[in-house]
Amino acid sequence: MTTCTARPVPAGVLKELRTADDAGRPMNPFTDEEGGAPLRCCLRRSAPGELIALVSYAPLRRWAAGTGADPGAYDEQGPVFVHAEECPGPSGTALPFTDAHRVLRRYSADGRILGGRLVDTGFPSALAEAFADPEVAVVHVRAVEYGCFLYEVRRD
């Protein structure tokens, strides 16, 4: 079975997003009074009282810049929650945010979409199935209710 790792928004990218997000807007931090926002920098839910921000992020564009791929029309940006200040990153290796329906969107090494799958149970086996296809280079995990990007998964 293929092993894979959930990848948060990298620390260097997070630093860039604090200056201007992928839509060119400045960060607008706020105190999360209720908690529960899915933080893409540390792959956990926010706690009440944490200082966070909602920024525009282009995950496929960022991945493609590092691999030389050209996502073409599949390049998109959308809202993600991040810590507004320094973040230590994830504290564990478990795949986060698997407690609800998710969509796994598969991409090839050249940045083209290869398909998607709605997952309600059996998250690990759905990821294994996605990576059983040798053409799959990266998988995006997305929320069903809003379609938002949660994190990317790559083979180890």
Given this model, what pLDDT does residue 138 score? 95
Confidence check: pLDDT of 1 > 90:
no
Q: pTM here?
A: 0.92
**Quick check: 6 and 96 in contact, CB under 8 A?**
yes
**What pLDDT shows up at residue 94?**
84
- E strands in the chain: 4-7, 30-32, 38-39, 44-45, 50-57, 78-83, 102-108, 113-119, 136-143, 149-155
Alpha-carbon span 31 to 28, nearest angstrom = 10
pLDDT, tens digit, 9 for 90 and up, residues 23-46: 999 999 999 999 999 999 999 999
C-alpha distances out from residue 107 to 29, 59, 104, Å: 32, 12, 10
Give the model confidence (pLDDT) of 95-131 as tens digits: 899 888 999 999 999 999 999 999 998 888 999 999 9
Q: What is the pLDDT of residues 69-97, one digit of tens each?
A: 999 999 999 999 999 999 999 988 888 99
The pLDDT score that the predictor gives to residue 121 is 87
Residue type, 92: G
51 near 30, Cβ under 8 Å? yes
Q: CA–CA separation, 20 vs 101, rounded Å?
A: 31
Domain ranges of the chain: 4-83, 102-155
